[in-house]
Amino acid sequence: MKSQYSIVIQWSDEDKKYIVTLPEFGPYAHTHGNTYVDALNNGEQVLELLIEDYQARGKPLPKPLTANFSFQFMSSSSSL
């Protein structure tokens, strides 16, 4: 499932794992992984389950957080 929700991945020295936070879904929406890739996969799975749960209960989904900035990309033929 494609979504526009945030997935924050941070290393935890205490746990020796990557900790995943899903900020739009509140302070208890967390998972983890031993590697960054595992953490991302687990975060995507939990996010999908949360969305399915909200929809099944008829609960409105939280509004996705958005960046307050944009990037301008230069083509490879542009000179610096």
Other C-beta atoms lying within 10 Å of the C-beta of residue 27 = 7
pLDDT in tens, 39-53: 999 999 999 999 999
Q: What is the pLDDT of residue 79?
A: 53
Could you say which residues of the chain have pLDDT below 50?
none
Domain residue ranges of the chain, discontinuous segments joined by +: 8-56
Q: What is the pLDDT of residue 58?
A: 98
Q: Model's pTM, two decimal places?
A: 0.80
Q: Three-state secondary structure along the chain?
A: CCCCCCCEEEEECCCCEEEEECHHHCCCCEEEECCHHHHHHHHHHHHHHHHHHHHHCCCCCCCCCCCCCCCCCCCCCCCC
